[in-house]
A and B are shown apart, each in its own frame.
Chain A
Amino acid sequence: MAYSVEFQESLEKIEASRNGRLGQGFPSLNLADKASLLETYHPDFRMAEKREIRVGPNRGGVAPKELVDLLESPSLLIPEAVDLTKVDSRTDVLVIGSGGGGVTAALTAREHGAEVLLATKLRLGDSNTIMAEGGIAAATLPEDSPVIHYVDTIVGGRGKNIPELVEALVNDAPFVVEWLTSLGVNFDRLPDGAYYAHMPAGHSRRRSHSVKDLTGLEFMRVLCDEVRNREIDVLEFSPAVELLLDDGGQCAGAVLFNFDTEEYFPVEAKATILATGGMGRLHPQGFPTSNHYGATADGLVMAYRAGAKLLYIDFVQYHPTGVAWPEQMLGLLVSEAVRAQGAQVVNVDGDMFVDRLETRDALSAAIIRECGEGGKGVLTPTGMVGIWLDTPLIDVMGGEGTFLRRFAGIHSRFKKYGIDPIHEPILVYPTQHYQNGGIRVNVDGETDIPNLYAVGEAAGGVHGHNRLGANSLVDIFVFGRRAGIHAAEKIGRVKIGKLSLDHIRAYNESLVETQIFSEISSPMLLPDYRFEKTLSTVQYTKGR
């Protein structure tokens, strides 16, 4: 497989220009240029790709049209199919989703005395967290401080972040690192025990703590093991399809679906924590995605139907360095740490066209421009286009063995397809990576609906319009812990009334009243890649 003949000419140019580029930077964008670049080329600013939402709490607002299609669809659940007078399953805290946020909320609520049921669509731990390569941001080094972390986060978020959420994030972050270490996470360390931290784009200090390029995998292995050790009840292959409310309008649990037996069953809970992740698998604007199989925005749909407001839901993060070749790896992520470690971003001729440490939004826009109007992209045999990430520079600059030591996972994944990133560059193109917004929450993860919490990517506000790298791995733990504690302390005061799915009926009726007739129902639960859909390549290079 490796690089076929089509790539050879460009590869030779990269080789030829490498020594000349060594140690050279590219001027970073000033704020005005960055703003204009984003406005012209960043997918977030393409209003034609977004649509107005015509029903529900965000009526009149906009969102990616793929999400609006789900929000404007009737429920997958026929309310009459569930007998709410016979509820067999009751718990204090129902956690939906078992990525980093959900597992942390479950462990924390349990630690604070609550009975917990953890329900998850796929296996325990299947999530975007497990795929996170880069690291977790926390101001732990002496030259850093939560104040600097705060400022960086706000600037990265284009000033739209909710200040108190950011304050909670940066102040709790070092405690999260301590907590994970105390559970036995093998962070990259120096011999004296000091944390080895690196500086992802948009950060002003070294503060991303990693476990090689397997950071999320190590976290999830440890946390899922701890869930088993604490003997928390886990229901795998049991996605939630709708929330339950009671006659007082409080959240009272959820209706789950058993993927194996195809039965719906209600679970009554005094507190419900949504940790269902984002919308990557809706493929907003036709982009490939770095997200796991289950990232279909189920939590957004359920919470929205129950009356929760969504915040900044029209802002989607495109990671600049998704894999463009080989085809089998299309859309998968190449960690930002690869750039932090020295890999430059170069075009088909081997020329730099952007500072490799621009924030994700700006670098994505620059790559889209270079491949589109610039005409300097590298065309693949399957019709994708991409830009080189010149990984061999990492060993050239850092000494032989640096790449393998830092990026063992990336190396072995490419090696399977005959590409050796130690000696050959890799081809990248922006990939849908993260939903910047989500369900509106406060510092304890509480949503607009009493007893309903949202944490992690499902929640919105802390990252403003654009999340900085390494800030999501910390977000999930900070707010997972906060929601877990808050829920465990609140349940003693919660009285659940008569269970109801009337909000589903009302929502379905509002669709009819608004003359919206959808051909699908939601939540989606899993994307459909069957038959020819398997082969659909994605293409997006145009400016506005």
Chain B
Amino acid sequence: MREFIDGAEAIVRGALDAGCDFFAGYPITPATPILLHMVRELPKIDGVAIQAEDEIASMGFCIGAAMTGCRVLTATSGPGISLYSENIGLAIMGEVPLVIINVQRMGPSTGGATTTAQGDIQFMRWGMSGGYPVIVLSPTNVLECYSLTRRAFNLAERFRVPVFLATDKETVATRTTVNISAYEQVPVRERTLTAAEAEFIPYHVAQPDEVPPMSPYGGPHVVRFTSSSHNERGYLTKNPADVEGLNRHLVAKIDEHVDEITLVMTDIQPGAETLIVSYGLTARAALEAAELARAAGHAVSTLVIYSLWPVPEAAIRAALDGVRRVLVAELNLGQYRREIERLVRDDQQVIGVHRVDGQLISPHDILQKGELL
């Protein structure tokens, strides 16, 4: 059985199936449909959905609610991410599980409100003071909007970190046909909580890469949260050992578990000299380009990256093995190409296929740039 659905609804259904019970957001094209869906749906499960006074407050509400036991979601676009920035830093520091849908539109600044882009790829990763890691997933189609939203919630719980879903206007607003049975049912990962009778030390970890269990405000323990450098009890500290331990922990809990986060799709053709790397909606053009190239007698491999951050270096290196050149297709002027360039060998050529004119990258654009016509 099929249905006719857009990415916004798929994201919302994914969030609801992931146990989301709190949403705060501020209207912004093209992310508004998600706010409208959540405002309609969440009261049905005794959840809360609210339009905040601005994006700063949206994130503040989400963080407060997450620390009070909710599974929280927010959705915005580039200019909203700019305003989220300070609180994303806070959420990293205080280890707040939350999911941010970024419906990318053309920038910089107000840019093109209804124009699709993939221009926030480095911004999502580095757009906060300190430069500590977040997780970024990117769906290529409506089905993946559903399944990756569910994964995003699980990863947020697993790592107590903000998780972005990097999508775009085109994927969120375009209605398409899907097989209802094709939605991937990702099991729900519940929040790891400290037992009621156990002592709760808010940020205690035995090893740097561990993630401390939580306890909600209003629950069995007294809970301390701070956005300042803190010791394991959540008290502000300048003790060098505590500060270093905290900062290394914030990196280690992600970096030492890249394998758990890595999600890619590789299609390696024997003897292929060309690898096409893509993500998000551009992957659809890339896969079609590869098919056309193969039909024309070119051996071409493809790599679609769903987990953009942390960079799945091992998976990328494996896909790079044996190719002579790499085409990286993205709707910006080479943001993720930088990540590929630092992973290639000296004898491998990286060629960007980019557009920033508001039009989508077509299979033809990729074939032409790759001289595969």
Say if A and B assemble together. Answer: no
